Amino acid sequence: MKKTFLTILLALFATILVACGNDSASKESESTSGESNNGSEKEVITIGYQKGNTLNILKEHGNLDEALSEAGYQVEWKVFPTGTVLLEALNTNNIDFGHASDGNAVFMQAGGHPLHYVASESPYPEGVALVVKADSDIKSVEDFKGKTIGVTKGGNQHYLLLVALEQAGISQDEVDIKFYKDAAEGLAAFTKGEFDVYGTWDPYLAIVENTVETRTIVNGFDLTENRTFYFATEELLSEKTDVVSIILEELQNADQWANENKEEISKILAKELGLDVEPIQQANERRSFGVQKIDDTITLSQQQLADTFYKAGLLESEISVQEAVQIDDAIIPDNIQ
């Protein structure tokens, strides 16, 4: 049975309030490894994460803390409300390692900030979609002409919209793109009829599907890979390659565990996000977790995203993604292809 709109909206607002607290709250650390057996302090490796994502799974699984402790390091976890804030912390050396979306990465690089890609998470194309209400007369992207479409500016659904419009031969000037701030605002606007088409992403896509009678016009399949990327500081990559290898190895181990235990993962992430388990489970069932080495195909896909955003006037300047992908293959552990 579908949840009432009010219940879901209140849950979304609660989640966003938790996630978007002040900077001091977002940067509070959770230290999960103690001192070494002989009482001496271990060198701290600080990892930034966002709630509900793969590094959050790694943190809760606990295998990285154990592996780095055995190597003589202590893990300190810092939670951030967005990928943009996390990358800013990485750029200022307030964290050593973290993750962010494909869009966050190109915006950061276009802003002139150094960026060091380390690896990619598996693509998640079905986790982003453009939906309409079930009784809408919109049947395909070709019907978007003259319609109002809600997306977050520079978000994965914004990119999906731009690619879908281009493929359908429709210019941006032929649609009315409205930007919403966050998931709660977007859901409220869509429910009230302010958007004819609503762009959203998991787990909020799953929430919408269980809250409002909708039809998916298009998702990311064959249009966008919808990837999360992993990043590190230049210092970590040049001076502590052993640490990077351990993080990636244990991240892959946690991802494979997540694939085999999706019900348990859904409970963990639902608690972290303050959401019901059902939509989290629905979202997890349409994705596969896994770390991937960044090859030419992935780099090209990311470059296409950057070029599309630049062409749409969203990026300050053109960028070369390849310049930020200079990872030594020797750092990549054997369990990652």
Q: Do 211 and 255 have their domain in common?
A: no
Q: Do 105 and 132 have their domain in common?
A: no
Which of the four pLDDT bands, split at 50, 70 and 90, describes residue 263? Answer: very high
C-alpha closest to that of 177 among 189, 192, 188: 189
Q: Is residue 167 part of a domain?
A: yes
Q: Do 116 and 231 have their domain in common?
A: yes
Q: Is residue 132 part of a domain?
A: yes
Q: Do 248 and 99 have their domain in common?
A: yes
Asked if residue 294 has pLDDT above 80, the reply is: yes
Which of the four pLDDT bands, split at 50, 70 and 90, describes residue 13? Answer: very low
Q: Do 206 and 255 have their domain in common?
A: no
**140-156: pLDDT as tens digits:** 999 999 999 999 999 99
- What pLDDT does residue 18 have? 38
Q: Is residue 5 part of a domain?
A: no
Which of the four pLDDT bands, split at 50, 70 and 90, describes residue 6? Answer: very low
Share of the chain above pLDDT 70, in %: 88
Average pLDDT over residues 180-198: 95
User: What radius of gyration, in Å, describes the C-alpha atoms of the chain?
Assistant: 20
| Structural domain that includes position 159 | 125-219
Domain boundary at 166, 196, 219, which?
219
Q: Do 119 and 132 have their domain in common?
A: no
- What pLDDT does residue 3 have? 47
- What pLDDT does residue 35 have? 44
Residue 262: CATH number of its domain:
3.40.190.10
- Report how many domains make up the chain: 2
34 compared with 294, residue with greater pLDDT? 294
Q: Is residue 39 part of a domain?
A: yes
- What pLDDT does residue 41 have? 86
Q: Do 55 and 65 have their domain in common?
A: yes
- What pLDDT does residue 26 have? 41
Average pLDDT value for the chain: 90
Which of the four pLDDT bands, split at 50, 70 and 90, describes residue 12? Answer: low
- What pLDDT does residue 148 have? 98
Domain boundary at 196, 219, 242, which?
219
- What pLDDT does residue 9 have? 47
Q: Is residue 191 part of a domain?
A: yes
24 compared with 175, residue with greater pLDDT? 175
Which of these ranges, 2-11, 60-69, 295-304, has the smallest mean pLDDT?
Answer: 2-11
**222-240: pLDDT as tens digits:** 999 999 999 999 999 999 9
Tell me if residue 217 falls in helix, strand or coil: strand
Q: Do 215 and 271 have their domain in common?
A: no
Q: Is residue 51 part of a domain?
A: yes
Q: Do 92 and 235 have their domain in common?
A: yes
Which of these ranges, 8-17, 53-62, 94-103, has the smallest mean pLDDT?
Answer: 8-17
Asked if residue 318 has pLDDT above 80, the reply is: yes
Does residue 233 contact residue 114 with C-beta atoms inside 8 Å? no
Asked if residue 37 has pLDDT above 90, the reply is: no
Q: How far is Cα 207 from Cα 276, in angstroms, rounded to an integer?
A: 9
Q: Is residue 278 part of a domain?
A: yes
- What pLDDT does residue 125 have? 98
**Is the backbone of residue 112 left (phi > 0), alpha (psi -120 to 50) or beta?**
left
- What pLDDT does residue 47 have? 98
Backbone angles phi, psi at 95, to 5 degrees: -135, 165
**119-144: pLDDT as tens digits:** 999 999 999 999 999 999 999 999 99
Q: How far is Cα 303 from Cα 190, in angstroms, rounded to an integer?
A: 31
Does residue 149 contact residue 173 with C-beta atoms inside 8 Å? no
245 compared with 11, residue with greater pLDDT? 245
- What pLDDT does residue 337 have? 86
Asked if residue 20 has pLDDT above 80, the reply is: no
Q: Do 105 and 254 have their domain in common?
A: yes
Domain boundary at 219, 235, 267, which?
219
